[in-house]
Structure 1
């Protein structure tokens, strides 16, 4: 019997713009990807509907096995902020996170994007690895600094989130 991860590697997922009907499947995916923060199902539905141009779902056989939610900052059209990256256990090790980020950056809506930002806690090794590798692959430079502070912003209930910024070559769409 094959391991589920081996089965996932036999076929390549389809990367596509999400639609509102993907909301519940994405919610289930995020819930299965501990320690990601769980949003409400309604939040994931809104991401799929209102922010679909800057989000991507990796679909395999009708199942969401990867997800990136992102948006262009309203006051800074050169910055794409990545809210969340989720990859199903069965699809890990395929470079799917980086492929999904590149998919978004290759869209016309990101034609003016010159930097990518996200927040990462200090202990999230998987996310640090993903964004460091992505910066290298794009020929960009990565910097970080504490942004949302445990005591100041989370009332001591969550770890400090570091603002990670990747300055990328211009234009991003051609580099991705």
Structure 2
């Protein structure tokens, strides 16, 4: 009898730590579409914001990552900075699963909103956040946030703010 592998058992979801910094840097670099920050920033991010960030491993490789933080001016808001999924793992729902797992963490107990900025050409991120709002049975409000003229280099697109919520406590328990 042929046994098929359960897709949920292939992935390991966990909090980040400083040892993830270099691998996350390479993952972001490999996407070719996300703004690549310094390797130092990813080391810091994975260490300091580990309670609100997540990495997914498969066969010992980092294949997906979300960096997030509780907004200092809005303690009920989880701001998502970057979402990266290796091209070999796209289309498997990892982005949504990571977001749902983050919302279930103790650090996100008081979170009622998820925010992220998304450029007009980034259709996968648009679909991710609109899909999360639908999954959580809540609203997704879009507003202009950063204009291309706000960025120091030319060619950067505008960034719209996606604000998802309010998120009910019971909706955080939705299946991934």
Equivalent position of 1:122 in the other structure: 120
Q: 1:78 aligns with which of 68, 71, 76?
A: 76
Cα RMSD after superposing both structures: 1.9
Secondary structure of 2:141's aligned partner? strand
Change (3 A) 1:91 1:11: farther
Secondary structure of 1:77's aligned partner? coil
Unaligned runs of 5+ in 1: 1-6
Instruction: Provide the C-alpha distance between the structure 1 equivalents of 2:142 and 2:8, rounded to a whole number of angstroms.
Output: 37
Equivalent position of 2:19 in the other structure: 21
Equivalent position of 1:4 in the other structure: none
Does residue 46 in structure 1 map to residue 44 in structure 2?
A: yes
Which aligned pairs between 1:129-168 and structure 2 lie closer than 5 A?
129-154=127-152, 156-168=154-166
Aligned residues: 170
Secondary structure of 1:76's aligned partner? coil
Instruction: Provide the C-alpha distance between the structure 2 equivalents of 1:132 and 1:175, rounded to a whole number of angstroms.
Output: 16
By how many angstroms is 1:34 displaced? 2.0
Change (3 A) 1:35 1:86: same
1:34-93: CA deviation from partner (whole Å, max 9, x where unpaired): 211111111111111000000000011221000000000112110000000000011111
Does residue 61 in structure 1 map to residue 59 in structure 2?
A: yes
Instruction: Provide the C-alpha distance between the structure 2 equivalents of 1:162 and 1:10, rounded to a whole number of angstroms.
Output: 32
Contact 1:111 1:173 in 2 (8 A): no
Instruction: Provide the C-alpha distance between the structure 2 equivalents of 1:108 and 1:39, rounded to a whole number of angstroms.
Output: 28
Contact 1:169 1:175 in 2 (8 A): no
